[in-house]
């Protein structure tokens, strides 16, 4: 069970153990006289939105709506828009490899609040971030039912990603 302030998620490794896990959860709730809002409870679901993330059988994943909001953004034209961008990066940081490195140009701008300047470095980082999310959406949708392992190799001018299924290469796309 995972508890977040006033939200709870009961997960089971195997479906046939889920009823036992729920019984144990309800016993703890009764012991401490905690009540649940039946209208907010969902049972026998294999996934859904929880705390702004997508919860699936594979675990937590980035919310496609949040990714789309970032993809639909144009380059920031003022400090408020940079703050909005950095907030979105922070919200999705657990899904971004080297998120601090990718967001550094935007955070540097926030240090110079008085003189807003969208540099070539910022524009390149912004475009790279959009490419990253476009690839993330493409891969997460394509291989939802295939248990596989992704490896990433990054070079300043090339991002390579390889998907392995039981030690067999499925796909090896490049993004330049």
* Shared domain check, 137 and 66: yes
When mean pLDDT is compared across 27-41, 114-128, 145-159, the lowest value belongs to: 145-159
Do residue 77 and residue 137 come from a single domain? yes
In this structure, is residue 93 part of a structural domain? yes
Which residue carries 């907030």 as its tokens?
87
Instruction: For residues 64 and 124, state if they share a domain.
Output: yes
Q: How far apart, in Å, are the Cα atoms of 1 and each of 11, 16, 110, 152, 163?
A: 6, 16, 38, 31, 31
Task: For residues 70-83, give the mean pLDDT.
Answer: 92
Q: Does residue 32 form part of some domain? A: yes
Q: Domain range for residue 166?
A: 148-176
* Residue-level pLDDT at 76: 93
Query: In whole angstroms, what is the distance from residue 145 CA to residue 141 CA?
Result: 9
**Does residue 38 sit in the same domain as residue 109?**
no
Query: What is the model's pLDDT at position 64?
Result: 83
Q: Over pLDDT 90: what percentage of the chain? A: 20
Output the pTM of the full model.
Answer: 0.59
Instruction: Give the residue from 133, 125, 135, 144 showing the smallest Cα distance to 172.
Output: 135
Let me know if residue 54 belongs to a domain. Answer: no
Residue 55 lies in a domain: no
Cα dihedral sign, 24-29-33-37: negative
Residue 136 shares a structural domain with residue 154:
no
Distance of CA 147 to the CA centre of its chain: 18
Domain count, the chain: 3
List of E strands, 1-155:
2-4, 7-9, 48-50, 53-56, 59-61, 149-155
- How confident is residue 156, by pLDDT bands cut at 50, 70 and 90? low
Residue 49, in any domain of the structure: no
115: which DSSP letter?
A: S
Structure tokens at 64: 């496609």
Computed over every residue of the chain, the mean pLDDT equals: 76
Instruction: Compute the distance between CA of residue 110 and CA of residue 86 in angstroms, rounded to an integer.
Output: 9
Residues 82 and 108 in one domain: yes
Inform me whether the pLDDT recorded for 80 exceeds 90.
Answer: yes
pLDDT for residue 158 is more than 50:
no
More confidently predicted of 21 and 13: 21
The percentage of residues in the chain with a pLDDT greater than 70, rounded to a whole number, is 74
Same domain, residue pair 23 and 83: no
Q: Do 87 and 157 have their domain in common?
A: no
User: 111 and 162 in one domain?
Assistant: no
The verdict on 68 and 106 lying in the same domain is yes
Q: Would you state the pLDDT for residue 146?
A: 47
């Amino acid at each position: 069970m995972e508890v977040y302030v006033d939200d709870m998620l009961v997960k089971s490794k195997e479906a046939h153990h889920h009823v036992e896990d729920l019984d144990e959860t309800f016993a703890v709730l009764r012991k401490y006289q905690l009540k649940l809002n039946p209208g907010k409870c969902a049972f026998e679901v294999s996934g859904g939105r929880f705390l702004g993330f997508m919860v699936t059988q594979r675990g937590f994943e980035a919310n496609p709506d949040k990714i789309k909001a970032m993809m639909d953004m144009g380059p920031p034209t003022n400090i408020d828009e940079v703050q909005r961008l950095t907030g979105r990066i922070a919200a999705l940081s657990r899904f971004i490899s080297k998120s601090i490195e990718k967001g550094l140009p935007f955070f540097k701008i926030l240090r110079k609040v008085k003189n807003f300047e969208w540099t070539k470095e910022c524009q390149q980082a912004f475009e790279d971030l959009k490419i990253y999310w476009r690839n993330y959406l493409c891969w997460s949708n394509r291989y939802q039912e295939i248990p596989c392992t992704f490896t990433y190799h990054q070079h300043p001018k090339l991002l390579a990603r390889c998907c392995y299924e039981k030690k067999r290469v499925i796909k090896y796309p490049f993004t330049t």
